[in-house]
């Protein structure tokens, strides 16, 4: 029930993206044991044999595989929670250093863009595409300032930092 409330708290496009990611993860979880089974049937491939759940005619094997995959995904996410939170914290520290350079002329936009690219790559590889999309989405946030380049630079760092703080709280739940 908690996951449903979590999903409902985002706009419809983000909900669709989140559900699509879950479906892909479950499909991958279903494929892994089948690959293991084919490796068991062909021991000459060099990979050690692993056992996969036996699938009967009623399809109960698929249910067991999906449940095992869900448990594996949950266990993996718990093991990586601390690592993800620490990495996101490092990105926040980098954002604070960039924000401290706002008085420079010209603004460090190259460093800003490199930071954004590094964070997006990390989010995509470790947390999924939904987090990458949300990182640059400032909907629901209020900013103060004008249309100057410094103000836009500051808003970009502030909005992304807020999202990183949200992500830390989400991955450590």
Contact by Cβ (8 Å): 159, 144: no
Does 87 reside within a domain? yes
pLDDT tens-digit readout, 60-101: 444 444 344 444 445 455 657 788 889 999 999 999 999 999
pLDDT tens by residue, 141-159: 888 888 899 999 999 999 9
Are 164 and 91 in contact, with CB atoms under 8 Å apart? yes
pLDDT tens per residue across span 99-144: 999 999 999 999 999 999 999 999 999 999 999 999 999 989 888 8
Return the C-alpha torsion angle 7, 12, 14, 17, nearest 10: 90
Based on the structure, what is the number of domains in the chain?
1
- Answer yes or no: is 70 within a domain: yes
For residue 10, what are the domain limits? 2-42+58-171
Classify residue 51: in a domain, yes or no: no
- DSSP secondary structure letter of residue 165: H
Q: Is residue 49 part of a domain?
A: no
Domain contains 25:
yes
For residues 133 and 17, is the Cβ–Cβ distance under 8 A? yes
Q: Report H helices in 101-128.
A: 109-126
């Amino acid at each position: 029930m908690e996951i449903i409330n979590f999903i409902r708290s985002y706009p419809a496009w983000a909900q669709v993206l989140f559900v699509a990611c879950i479906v892909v993860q479950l499909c991958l979880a279903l494929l892994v044991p089948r690959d293991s089974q084919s490796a068991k049937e062909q021991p000459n491939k060099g990979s050690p044999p692993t056992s996969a759940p036996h699938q009967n005619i009623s399809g109960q094997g698929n249910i067991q595989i999906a449940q095992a995959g869900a448990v594996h995904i949950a266990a993996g996410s718990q093991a990586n929670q601390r690592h993800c939170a620490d990495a996101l914290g490092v990105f926040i520290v980098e954002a604070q250093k960039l924000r401290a350079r706002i008085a420079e002329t010209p603004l460090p936009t190259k460093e800003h863009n490199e930071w954004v690219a590094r964070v997006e790559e990390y989010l995509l590889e470790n947390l999924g595409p939904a987090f990458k999309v949300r990182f640059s989405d400032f909907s629901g946030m209020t900013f103060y300032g004008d249309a100057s380049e410094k103000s836009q630079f500051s808003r970009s760092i502030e909005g992304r930092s807020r999202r990183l703080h949200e992500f830390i709280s989400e991955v450590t739940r």
